[in-house]
Amino acid sequence: MIRQMSRWASALGASGWAMAAALTMGAPAIAQDNATLHADRPGPLVDRHIFSQFAEHLGYGIYGGIWVGPKSSIPNIHGYRKDVVEALRALHVPLVRWPGGCFADEYHWRDGIGAGRPTRINTHWGGVTEPNSFGTHEFMDFAELIGAETYVAGNVGSDAPSALEEWVQYMTAPEGTLAQERARNGRKQPWTLSYVGIGNELWGCGGNMRADDAAGVTRRYATFVKAPYGVKIQKIASGANGADTNWTEVMMREAGRQIDGIGLHYYTVPTGAKGRGSATDFTETDYARTMAKTWKMEELLTKHSAIMDKYDPARRVNLAVDEWGIWTDVEPGTNSGFLYQQNSLRDALLAAVNINIFVHHAERVRMTNIAQMVNVLQAMILTDGPKMVLTPTYHVFDLYRPFQDGTALPLDLPPTWYNREEWTAPAVTGSAVHGKDGAVHVALVNIDPAKAHHLDIALTGMAAAQVTGRILTAARVQDVNDFAAPARVVPAAFTGAALHDGRLSVDLPAKALVVRELR
């Protein structure tokens, strides 16, 4: 139904959006919506990598956020912040992408190994010095520490194919000169490297390439990413900027056989009167515009997937949304190159909407990386010296944890629209899985800031005896967790769901994410 809604949306065009908006006017305070959960029609695997993260050498994303060094007075495990490591372990982060971003195509991996590391300038992000004290060993060991797999973006823009070839060997080779060098630097056993990015944003900071040139470069560099015998490393091409479907077309046509995935970067930029819009000070019209823009992800995935289907009907190649999230103005008084922004209930609901979209495209979308993990853009965690706070977005990823590697179940929801001025998006979106734990998990998000929805969901192919749930909401969509009030937006037990006659009824409050477990 979600897919049906997006077809509606694109088929109806602007006047259709207006009509949908008009339909919701004068609706009752609590809408009655009938829906169906088809437990008898299992769909694709919801790859756990959909819940992956991105950590770049940017602002306090790495230094201060993850790495403080072993001599720091901030409690640490061999240099990694103890509080951050514990929070990320609890989240079951499946995969981390590193070292960028734009930083990746200027990063020379040898700068970050061994003793006597050089200091460079981080030209993209604030022009600050990059000490290189967090390098390959520190990243790969960090991933092991939090129980995540690794996705390393190679330097295609300003380094030779041999540099990427040798970096991959340094990390993964069981023997040989590079393996010996790795052992001398403290790591005998090869690490597991799951994904390699063939550059980043080759259309922009990765080299300002045209699509044809980028496809040629991708073929060439991907050739030299060699996994040890019997090991698989997935190669991800630098993908399109939002709606640039020509990029996907050319990359799939010219380099589709050399890669295992193609990226897609799409940020939700609220764009207020000035700049990108404040993270915390926004009106309802700003809110509606932001939600309408985030809903565009559905259309983007539909369009890019359709192109990929032409070249890869078996869906071997993964559409990896390896950068997404809300991008607002930085917090007042902070370095504009550090991309440090607060994180509100709005951002949490937006994350949930995107996750629901990814689940509905799970047959093609098998990895996404929210930008970014700590202290940058839509972060899971914010730190300030020794202090740490979990953002509302952290709690969304926590609530969706049972979705990792579940089996998608179709959830038909009737169209419900939230609109404000010319901005419209579905009010209620959802997704469901048959989890690895044997339970059925249903996520519903209502972005309408004022109107609750009552859903009466028919359950086909399952007999549930028990329902439990958790809810994430707050008094205002602008509410945040900060160091003074770290628990303003946190999950609570949800009691507004009941089972009766093979149906699940849910009183879904305004501006809320609810995740239920059925057994």
Site string for ligand AHR, 9-38 (x = CB under 6 A): ------------------------------
3-state secondary structure (DSSP) of residue 499: strand
Known active-site residue 201: yes
Shorter beta-carbon distance to ligand AHR: residue 100 or 112 = 100
Name the one range near ligand AHR by CB under 6 A: 95-103, 383-391, 410-418, 488-496: 95-103
For the segment 387-416, give every residue that binds ligand AHR (CB under 6 A): none
Shorter beta-carbon distance to ligand AHR: residue 377 or 433 = 377
Residue 385 contacts residue 60 (beta carbons within 8 Å): no
Known active-site residue 284: no
Question: Could you tell me the smallest distance in angstroms from the CB atom of residue 377 to ligand AHR?
Answer: 6
Nearest residue to ligand AHR, scored by beta-carbon proximity: 101
Shorter beta-carbon distance to ligand AHR: residue 202 or 497 = 202
For the segment 101-140, give every residue that binds ligand AHR (CB under 6 A): 101-102
Q: Of 56, 106, 201, 298, which is the active-site residue?
A: 201
- At 90, the amino acid letter reads A
Name the strand (E) or helix (H) holding 151.
strand 149-153
Question: Could you tell me the smallest distance in angstroms from the CB atom of residue 217 to ligand AHR?
Answer: 17
Shorter beta-carbon distance to ligand AHR: residue 256 or 263 = 263
The yes or no reply on residue 259 touching ligand AHR (CB under 6 A) is: no
Q: Which of 237, 252, 351, 371 binds ligand AHR (CB under 6 A)?
A: 371
d(CA 446, CA 353): 9
Q: What are phi and psi of 370, to 5 degrees?
A: -70, 145
d(CA 61, CA 56): 6
Question: Could you tell me the smallest distance in angstroms from the CB atom of residue 380 to ligand AHR?
Answer: 14
Report the phi/psi class of residue 375: left, alpha or beta, with left for phi > 0 and alpha for psi in -120 to 50: left
- DSSP summary character for residue 344: B
Question: Could you tell me the smallest distance in angstroms from the CB atom of residue 134 to ligand AHR?
Answer: 16
Size of the site for ligand AHR (CB under 6 A): 10
Span between the terminal Cα atoms of the chain, in Å: 24
Name the one range near ligand AHR by CB under 6 A: 96-104, 176-184, 381-389, 431-439: 96-104
Shorter beta-carbon distance to ligand AHR: residue 300 or 433 = 300
Question: Could you tell me the smallest distance in angstroms from the CB atom of residue 104 to ligand AHR?
Answer: 8
Short-list 379, 331, 353, CA closest to 513: 353
Tally of helices (H runs) and strands (E runs) in the chain: 10, 28
Site string for ligand AHR, 182-211 (x = CB under 6 A): ------------------xx----------
d(CA 243, CA 303): 8
d(CA 504, CA 100): 44
d(CA 294, CA 267): 8
3-state secondary structure (DSSP) of residue 198: strand
Site string for ligand AHR, 317-336 (x = CB under 6 A): ------x-------------
Shorter beta-carbon distance to ligand AHR: residue 205 or 428 = 205
Question: Could you tell me the smallest distance in angstroms from the CB atom of residue 499 to ligand AHR?
Answer: 43
d(CA 415, CA 17): 12
d(CA 42, CA 434): 8
d(CA 275, CA 330): 10
3-state secondary structure (DSSP) of residue 425: strand
d(CA 42, CA 211): 37
Q: Which of 99, 100, 135, 277 binds ligand AHR (CB under 6 A)?
A: 100
Shorter beta-carbon distance to ligand AHR: residue 397 or 418 = 397
d(CA 362, CA 48): 10
Shorter beta-carbon distance to ligand AHR: residue 159 or 448 = 159
Q: Which of 39, 50, 53, 56 binds ligand AHR (CB under 6 A)?
A: 56
Q: Of 138, 166, 323, 517, which is the active-site residue?
A: 323
Question: Could you tell me the smallest distance in angstroms from the CB atom of residue 269 to ligand AHR?
Answer: 11
Cα-based distances in Å from 230 to 165, 174, 226, 227, 335: 17, 12, 11, 8, 46
Residue 470 contacts residue 491 (beta carbons within 8 Å): yes
Shorter beta-carbon distance to ligand AHR: residue 138 or 201 = 201
Question: Could you tell me the smallest distance in angstroms from the CB atom of residue 345 to ligand AHR?
Answer: 22
Which positions touch ligand AHR (CB under 6 A)?
56, 100-102, 200-201, 323, 371-372, 377
Give me the active site residues, please.
Answer: 201, 323
